[in-house]
Structures are given as structure tokens and as C-alpha cells.
Structure 1
Amino acid sequence: IITYINNNNINFKGGKVFLVVGGIVIGTLLISNLNLNEPKESINHNYQYIQKIDIVKPNLIEEEIVKENIINNNQINQNHQTKNIQSLDKETTTSKIESNNANQPIHEINQNTSSEIMVTLYRSNGIVEQINLESYVAGVVAAEMPASFNIEALKAQSILARTYALKKINNNQILTDSTSTQVYKDINQLKELWGSDYNFYYNKIVSATKSTEGKYLTYNNNFIEAVYHSTSNGQTEDSVNVWGNHYPYLVSVDSHWDLSATSYLRETYKDFNIISSILGISFNENSNIEILSKTNGQRIKQIKIDNFIFSGVELRNLLNLRSADIEFIINEKEVKIITRGYGHGVGMSQYGANGMAKEGYSYQQILNYYYPGTTLK
């Protein structure tokens, strides 16, 4: 760790180092009395980017931002659904943006050319497959959204999955079948997942992808950042409050449909010692918690715990919480944490999209609402 800090000119003079696996803090180290090289430039301690070496492509170092897509497994329809819980408790997926992330000019894609595009997919089992784009989109939609959702919501998800893939391909970036890009399940995996309901659900997914074949979202003739999330707190979030980058089409909009979702509200309890260890503070029943500011989407922007200030995104990630809309209730030996929504809150809310679809909105209207100013091609 010390060698890594030195080699990367990180301005670290000693203190706690958190060991994180899959977004979960598994341990801490206390490093002191360091004799490190002086950093070449000042580094902000609130790191937005994490250096990550991709095990599929050795020596490829990318900057990672979180594109969460989380849906809860409690929303269940009465028909054909006991086996339709494939991805309902997924925590996050990630969008990797390489350092040279200039958008390449995009070529017009239509229903005919879309079916000819091949996706190079790096599977979790080490196999590299060539898959037709539309088959890939179907496998992503099946993995990323419950097939029990309304068909118009599934169509909207199909366009986002296709847009995400096309942007990756256009920028010469890889696609995997895991949360490092978009989750993908093949036919055998779906048969195992859905069992006797396979034909019903697969035909529904294919119907959604087929009816939107070749369609994708652009802004100023560039593929959009096709981020989405499970459930909002009643409003979506502006991207600048999550990743520091502003996109005119990733702004806060009302999403009241989420208020009735089973994934909307959660309570969790954390021991004082756990919070103290993770945050590097002395947290107890007398600790003072003050929300200093909120975002446009009514999530915590800055919060003060005793004399320490955290961003809402930072606190959410450190404590492994479902959203940055956080409420604390301190008890004698633990704190009750209430969260509203599930995910970063940027872009389309999947439960919101399903709510809109149930009210009769089309997939075009859903996408236009959650990504204002974009063009469907």
C-alpha cells in the first residue's frame, strides 16, 4: 500500500486506509510515520475516481464512475412471477470511462444495420463471445429489469441497454456480462432462472427489444450517458451532484411514482463502533448530526457529524446505504438509518418508468421525461 501511495504521488500523510471489496468495507489499516515522496501536485482528499485494473484486459487502467442499477425483489405480480426475481437485489453496476473519453462521431444505425452489429462480450467464465447486438440487448434487459414490469418500461430499458452498448463500442471500450458494465444472461441462464416460466418471460423480453430494434438515444448527435437506477426518493438527481459532471439531460425531475414502490423506504441499524471505525470518528449517543445542505433531488449534499463534514455520496458509499436520502435516529447503542429510494437517482428510475407505463405512458414519453432534450433515433 505504501509503495502504491508513493508511486501514484498521493498526498497521504498517515491515518486510516479502508480496504473495500465490491463496495463493502472489509477492514481498515492505520498507517503512520510515513516517509513518502512529496506529491507533484495537490490532491483533493475527496476522491471521485478510483484506479482499477481490469482483469479481462491486463494493464488497462480505467477511471470508474458508478452507474447503479438496483431493483428490489419485493415488487411481485400475481401471474408468472415466482421465478422472476433475477436481479432484484443487485447493488450496483459500473460505467467505466477511460481517460481519453472523447465521443467519437456516431454513424446512423437503423433496424437493418442494428441486427448486423456484433458485440464482443467478455464473460465471467473467461470466454470471449461474439453476440449479435439485439440478442445482447435482450439478455441485458432480462438481467437488468424484472420481466414482470410493464412492456413499455421494458421497451425503455431496451433502448437504454442498446445505447449504453453502442456508446461503448463506438469508444472502443469493452463489454462484460457483469456489473462492471451491464449484466447479461444467456438463454441457459435464463432457463435456469425462470424455469417453467421461461417461454412466457423470454417472449415478453424479445417483444420489447424487437419493437425498439435499432433505436437509441442521443444528445447533440452523441450517444447519451445511459445511466439509470432502481428507485428514486420522489425526485431524480442531477448528475453533477453524484459525479461532478453536468449533462443537460441528466437533471432532477419529479418521480412521484416511486413513492408507492416497495423498494422506496428502508430502515437499517448500525452499531456505534462500526460507524466510528468506518468513518474514522468517535461516534456515540451524544454525537451531533446536522444536514448542512441538500441537492436538487432532496438528497444530502453535505452533512456534519460532530466536527467532520461528509458529502452525501461519500457517506452513502462508506456506510453501504441504499441512497443519499438519509435520516439518522440515534438510540442508546446504535443508530437507526432511514433511506428513501435505491440507487444514485440519476436518469431513469426503473420503478418510476414502470409506474408511468401503468398509467398509459409510452416508452417514448418515458425516455423523453427522464432524459429531457434527447433525441430518439
Structure 2
Amino acid sequence: MVGSNNKLVFKRWRRRAVTGPKRASHAIGGKLWWLSFAGGIALGVSLLIAGIGHPASSRDGLQQDNGTASSLHPAPRTIVTSGKAISNKQSNVAIQNNPQEQKLAPGSSTMAPDHPEASNATGQSDKPYSGLEKLRVHVYLSNESRVETVPLELYVRGVLAGEMPVDFELEALKAQAIAARTYIVRRLLEKDRSGVPGSKADVTDTVNHQVYVPLKELVDRWPAGEEREATLGKLTRAVEETQGLVLTYQGEPIEAAFFSTSNGYTENAEDYWQLSVPYLRSVASPWDETVSPRYKQAVQIGEKELYRRLGVKDDGKAPRVLELTDGRRVKSVVIGGETFTGREVREKLGLASSEFSWTIQDGVAEITTYGMGHGIGMSQWGADGMAKEGAAAEQILLHYYTGVKLEQASKLLTAAMDS
């Protein structure tokens, strides 16, 4: 291969054609090698939750990603999940609700009145949100080296401003608010202060936990007048219309992982964390391809630098994918005689995702990635795409988190105090 201008070409795996065992085979011919594979597992560190290792940050999100929408369009398809049929054909979402599921009424933090358990399941009783109005979150502000103490719902609003663009659809913002509230309630219930300097704070305002915009910065972010009023009003509405609601699985708040953009599918938790989580399963997410500016990106890395980062020598052989995940990402691949996980390749090369196509020409590798983030849980751009097609926050959440329920946090706090 010495002296060849076009040395290696990695073609993107045809995700939609994969129906059998997750194995890949590749042909080698002449001076041009073709390799097809998908990949995508993300960066993360671990924390202990109930004695089991989880990532310290389950988020891998947008942080005010306000890019323009992609011009790519997904093929029409129908997804069946949690008692719903969701079709994205021509921006049309048809959802058949399971009568046993909770319904979050638009414009309200209560369940729809036609649900027989509406008064109890959301805590809308004689004492709504009992105890939550007194709950405070202590946030360590990293840039100021001080702790800001705020009520739970104001904390959720600050996270919403930090983790999702405010121009997203209201129902997507509501879904993000519930996920953010679930994260902090779980952490408070477990008295988990890992990753926090000192002992006076519950969380930091960084990606190590959830990105949080302090109160003063939030107010000053937009000029005074109608724009500020409208923006803060939209954030406040998303929080108020989901007030107190969290996601639970078997009565416990879930690890509400989320990320920016899928490659068309989400990941099973064990394919990234090496730990199976029953509600974090791979599901289709076709909306990202249409709406996310991060769906497809390209970066260039020098050929020598590429192999240096991977810590291997160019052995003149084409990389060989050993196995794919259910999310159509690389599970294991051999490069330069060494075996890597998809997560390792992404981390070492600093890629947005580990589903990618790769071409080396004239000593430069151009790598095109599909999706952004670890791929576990809720895709934020996918949530916005669902909302644009008419899906409500509850429907978004029940699609991305398998077998979960919506409950009032006050119910969990009361149970914790009684135990």
C-alpha cells in the first residue's frame, strides 16, 4: 500500500438492512479496501448507584446547540413501543395510547381527567407536591467557587436552560424537564454527593452532573423586554406543566440518561456501561436525521496522528469489525492488530460518535460521524423531532425509556421518610 494516494476507505454500515446476527464481513481488493461498520458508545466515568457502577454523568447533551436543521430525510417507518404505534411518515405521528398508561394533559401538570387514577398517580390530592416546595438543591458554581441554593423547580429550570435550546418545541422541553428532575431527585434520595468539591453542595453546574445556568446569568442571558419575557416564560411553563413529575421503574427514580443526537437508534446500556439496565434499551430514533445539525459531521486527522492516538502501528491491514451493537454501533473492532471497543475508538480519536465512515487520502484521514453522544436513553434532537410531529412529553419519554412510569416525586420522598 506504500505510495497509494487512496489508502483506506471505510464505508458506512447500512443500518436499516441489519436484521440478523450482529456480525460484519469485509472484502479486500487491489489498492482499495472497503470496510463497513457502525459505531457509537460515548465518554463517561463511573459512580456507584445502589452498589452498582454507573457513569457519574448520564448526560451527553446539547449545551445550547442552536445549529440549523439538517437537510437529510429519514425513510418513512413505523415504530411500535409501549403500546403505541408511532409513524414519522411525512411529519405525521399517529399514537395509540395504552389505556393503562398515565396521560399528561397538555398545559397541565395533572393527568388527563379521563384516567381513573388521575388524582393519586400525580400527587394531585388535598396536599399537592407535599414537601417539594421546601426541598432545596445546593449547586456548586464552578466558575465562582460558591454554592447557590435554589428550590427544586428553579433548579430544573436552570438545567433546562443549560441542557436544551429554548427554541425547541415545548413538549420536548417538558420531557427534558422531567428527565432533569428525575436525575436530581434520585441523587438527593441516595444522598449521593460524588464529584462535588467539599460537603455543602449536592451537584455541580457542569457536564459532570447537569449543566445548570445560575439565576442571575439566566436573567441576564437575554435583553430586557419581550424576548426575555417570552424565553423565561417558555422555560417556566415547561417546568410548571410537569411540576414534581419524575420517571420511575419499579417504584424507584431511574437513571435518566440523555444525549444530543442518535444515529437512528439508541443503545442498550450494557453496550456502553457494561451493565444491563432494563429501561435503557435500544429503540429506533429516525427523527434525528431530519432535524439535527449534529446528525452528520466530518473531521480530519493526520494518518500518523490517527495511529498514534490509537497506540498502534499501521500494519497494512484493513480494520476488521468483530461485532456490532443493537444500536448499529461498533462493539469491537481490530485495528493495527489490536482489538478495541467502539467506545475506546471514539474516546481516543475524539469523535462525536462511533458510527462513522473513514477515508485516508494523501496522508489525511477524513472521518464522517453519524449522531452525537453515547446514545443511551433519550435523544434530545429526537425528542424535538417527535414533538414537531405532535407527540406529547409523556409519549416521548415512554418511547426512549422502556417500561417506566410517571410519578410525583413527593410520593417517593414520603416513602423514603417513612422507611
- Describe the SS at the equivalent of 1:309: strand
Letter in structure 2 aligned against 1:351: W
Q: Which deviates the most, 191-200 or 310-319? A: 191-200
Matched, 1:269 2:304: no
Relative to 1, partners in 2 of residues 1:183 and 1:338: Cα closer, same or farther, differing over 3 Å? same
Structure 1 Cα separation of the partners of residues 57 and 139 of structure 2: 20
Q: State the Cα deviation string for residues 231-268 of structure 1 (Å, max 9, x = none).
A: 00001111100001111110000100011122100111
Unaligned runs of 5+ in 2: 1-42, 48-52, 70-121, 193-201, 408-419
Letter in structure 2 aligned against 1:138: R
Structure 2 Cα separation of the partners of residues 236 and 157 of structure 1: 16
2:68 matched residue in structure 1 = 75
Structure 2 Cα separation of the partners of residues 270 and 111 of structure 1: 53
* Residue among 100, 116, 134 paired with 2:134: 116
Relative to 1, partners in 2 of residues 1:350 and 1:51: Cα closer, same or farther, differing over 3 Å? closer
Q: Which runs of 4+ in 1 moved over 6 A?
A: none
Structure 2 Cα separation of the partners of residues 255 and 178 of structure 1: 27
- Describe the SS at the equivalent of 2:331: strand
2:311 matched residue in structure 1 = 280
Contact 2:138 2:148 in 1 (8 A): yes
Give runs of aligned pairs for residues 113-192 of structure 1, distance below 5 A: 113-124=131-142, 125-173=144-192, 174-192=202-220
Letter in structure 2 aligned against 1:249: Y
Contact 2:140 2:146 in 1 (8 A): yes
Relative to 1, partners in 2 of residues 1:180 and 1:340: Cα closer, same or farther, differing over 3 Å? same
Contact 1:152 1:362 in 2 (8 A): yes
Matched, 1:202 2:223: no
The two structures, once aligned, show a CA RMSD in angstroms of: 2.3
Shift of 1:66: 4.6
1:44 matched residue in structure 2 = none
Contact 2:56 2:208 in 1 (8 A): no
Give the length in aligned residue pairs. Answer: 290
2:119 matched residue in structure 1 = none
Q: Which has the larger radius of gyration?
A: 2
Matched, 1:375 2:402: no
Contact 1:164 1:226 in 2 (8 A): yes
Shift of 1:336: 1.3
Matched, 1:301 2:326: no
Structure 1 Cα separation of the partners of residues 157 and 318 of structure 2: 49
Shift of 1:224: 0.2
Structure 1 Cα separation of the partners of residues 311 and 170 of structure 2: 47
TM-score (norm 2): 0.65
Q: Share of identical aligned residues, percent? A: 36
Shift of 1:188: 2.2
Q: State the Cα deviation string for residues 158-184 of structure 1 (Å, max 9, x = none).
A: 000000000111111231111111111
- Describe the SS at the equivalent of 1:111: coil
Structure 2 Cα separation of the partners of residues 68 and 328 of structure 1: 27
Structure 1 Cα separation of the partners of residues 46 and 281 of structure 2: 27
TM-score (norm 1): 0.72
1:315 matched residue in structure 2 = 345
Contact 1:300 1:326 in 2 (8 A): no
Give runs of aligned pairs for residues 329-340 of structure 1, distance below 5 A: 329-340=359-370
Q: State the Cα deviation string for residues 129-182 of structure 1 (Å, max 9, x = none).
A: 221000000000011000000000000000000000001111112311111111
1:28 matched residue in structure 2 = none
Shift of 1:361: 0.7
* Residue among 243, 255, 271 paired with 2:285: 255
Shift of 1:63: 7.6
Contact 2:45 2:57 in 1 (8 A): no
Relative to 1, partners in 2 of residues 1:187 and 1:120: Cα closer, same or farther, differing over 3 Å? closer
Relative to 1, partners in 2 of residues 1:50 and 1:373: Cα closer, same or farther, differing over 3 Å? closer
1:230 matched residue in structure 2 = 260
Contact 1:111 1:215 in 2 (8 A): no
Structure showing greater relative contact order (alpha-carbon pairs closer than 8 Å, 6 or more residues apart): 2
- Describe the SS at the equivalent of 2:233: helix
* Residue among 388, 395, 399 paired with 1:358: 388
Relative to 1, partners in 2 of residues 1:228 and 1:207: Cα closer, same or farther, differing over 3 Å? same
